Amino acid sequence: MTLGGIDLVALAAMLMVASTPILLAAIGELIAEKAGVLNLGVEGMMIMGAIGAFAGAVITGSPAAGFAFGALAGAGMALIFGFLTQVLLSNQVATGLALTLFGLGLSALFGKGFEGVRPPATEKLDFGALADLPVLGPVLFRHDWVVYFSLAMVVAVWLFLHFSRSGLILRAVGENHEAAHALGYRVVAVRMAALAFGGALAGMGGAYLSLVRVPQWTEGMTAGAGWIALAIVVFASWRVERVLLGAYLFGGVTVLQLRLQAAGYAIPVQLLSMAPYVITIIVLVIISARHRHGAQAAPAALGKTFHASR
């Protein structure tokens, strides 16, 4: 199926690969922010996930173990952030920025021995006959497991936030930590758990970059993907289904503009180049504006410091 010389099926398949790192990081950040913590260290957690996964996969020879290491590295970074902001009550914005700087530097240090090394390949899942379906096969059934994992996480997080008691507690903590505390919920514990989850997903997003999408380790290789994930959470007004839309839109337009260039379309390259940012923001802002009903979209306690003595 081609349109204007571009194979739409191949494009859709590329889109899913290009979007997965941002999607994973954005879902993780969504949970952290829903619990009321603003963690600007996504970039730092992603890059630590990228090197952690790369090192883990190269040393053990197993990409799955690599992803586990990546998740652990991301979660570890998030717990440092959690300790500083939740226990020592440091400023979240400053600590988050510091976490990004720390992650970029530390990953460069750890990564010195891994430049130019090839990671073991992450195999595509085998769906048998399903993979041979026209159109649907290449788009849906010829990916590695992480793509499906990221989509499953979207569903799981949506169910968790809307239909589970713990999801309700998490949101309560994020909306009004004083009230949640008064009801007997352990605000700091909930937030630490949310942060660790967010860090693990950001780490897996970074891992996907270094193990699948690029695949190799290069210093600073996230190149701002963490900031995109942060922005998508805000523009998606903290709704997981919109995060999915935003991440796929961003990844999709990024891939599409490169394909349009390669195909030699006479569209100004500057326009194509800024299209992913502009289109993603416009679409998400329009959706958010239409559904707001006057309510504030951001969790009310987002970024506020909680201390139990008050």
What backbone torsions phi and psi does residue 218 show, to the nearest 5 degrees? -140, 140
Site for other proteins in 249-278 (CB under 8 A): 254-255, 258-259, 261-264, 266, 268-270, 273, 277
> Which of these segments, 85-93, 109-117, 139-147, 294-302, binds other proteins (CB under 8 A)?
109-117
Site for other proteins in 47-106 (CB under 8 A): 97, 100-101, 104-105
Among 48, 78, 207, 228, binds other proteins (CB under 8 A): 228
Q: Are 162 and 175 in contact (CB under 8 A)?
A: no
Q: Residue written as tokens 């440091």?
A: 90
Based on CB atoms, which residue is closest to other proteins, 83 or 110? 110
Q: ∠ CA 197-33-293 to the nearest 5 degrees? A: 135
Measured from the CB of residue 146, what is the shortest distance to other proteins in angstroms? 15
- 63 class by beta-carbon count within 10 Å (0-12 exposed, 13-18 middle, 19+ buried): buried
Measured from the CB of residue 25, what is the shortest distance to other proteins in angstroms? 13
d(CA 183, CA 187): 10
- Three-class DSSP category at 105: helix
Among 1, 94, 152, 223, binds other proteins (CB under 8 A): 223
What backbone torsions phi and psi does residue 225 show, to the nearest 5 degrees? -60, -35
Query: Which residues are at the interface with other proteins (CB under 8 A)?
Result: 7, 10, 14, 18, 21, 43, 97, 100-101, 104-105, 108, 111-112, 115-116, 118, 209, 213-216, 218-225, 227-228, 254-255, 258-259, 261-264, 266, 268-270, 273, 277
